[in-house]
Structure 1
Amino acid sequence: MSRIKTIMRSDPDCNIISQDAVYLVTKATEMFIEFLGKEAAKTTINTKRKTVMKRDVDSAIDQVSHLCFLEGALEWQ
């Protein structure tokens, strides 16, 4: 939670951050990562592999409409 609070403090518009807000953002982040991981794992299983790869995460982003905001986020420059 301390890392999340540090990230939240980096926003100049946030002056006061309550512990409840930090907890909720941390929990939401955990839930988001869990969802993304499960979707990527589905692709891995469907291709009969055991290791989740970047292409599986990309595939999950392409297949799930809720994740469309992440398109291009994993592209390396």
Structure 2
Amino acid sequence: MAERDENKVQSVLPLSRIRTIMKSSPDTSSISNEALFLTGKATELFVQNLARVSMESSTDKVNVGYTDLANVVNSDENLQFLQDIIPKKIKAREYLESLKKSEEEEELST
């Protein structure tokens, strides 16, 4: 088996932070270095893909904005698990109107 050069394999994300997040789960007792590295690399690739898809759907081809991310998350079925984290922005007035409407509908149904 060929010997790996450990200096060539790097992660952009801080592995110590990833370890801390992984250890915050009560189901996790120990984390191998391989699992830690693979989780970091998978996260890095996921974020790169999310940014690339957001950039492609953006009207501004230089910057990715929050609205671009929110549109991608809300339109792609595979990313809908992020809807609570990256919701579409709405104005307070629209939210209050929607809340009032749902309360009126609830009163009518009872």
| Residues 44-73 of structure 1, C-alpha deviations (whole Å, 9 max, x = no match) | 2xx2x2321100001111232211111132
Q: How many residues are treated as equivalent by the alignment?
A: 73
Identity of aligned residues (%): 34
In terms of Rg, which structure is larger?
2
| Residues 30-50 of structure 1, C-alpha deviations (whole Å, 9 max, x = no match) | 011001000110122xx2x23
Match of 2:70 among 58, 64, 67: 58
Write 1 or 2 for the structure with the bigger share of helix. Answer: 1
Task: Give 5+ residue unaligned stretches, structure 2.
Answer: 1-14, 90-110
Task: Compute the TM-score of the two structures, normalised by the length of structure 2.
Answer: 0.60
Q: Does 1:43 align with 2:41?
A: no
Task: Give 5+ residue unaligned stretches, structure 1.
Answer: none
Task: Compute the TM-score of the two structures, normalised by the length of structure 1.
Answer: 0.83
Amino acid at match of 1:12: P
What is the aligned-residue RMSD (CA, Å)?
Answer: 1.6
Q: Does 1:34 align with 2:44?
A: no
- On the 8 A contact 2:73/2:86 being kept in 1, the answer is no
Deviates more, 1:64-73 or 1:13-22: 64-73
Determine the structure 1 residue equivalent to 2:79: 67
Matches within 5 A, 1:12-31: 12-31=26-45
Determine the C-alpha separation between the residues in 1 that align with 2:27 and 2:81.
23
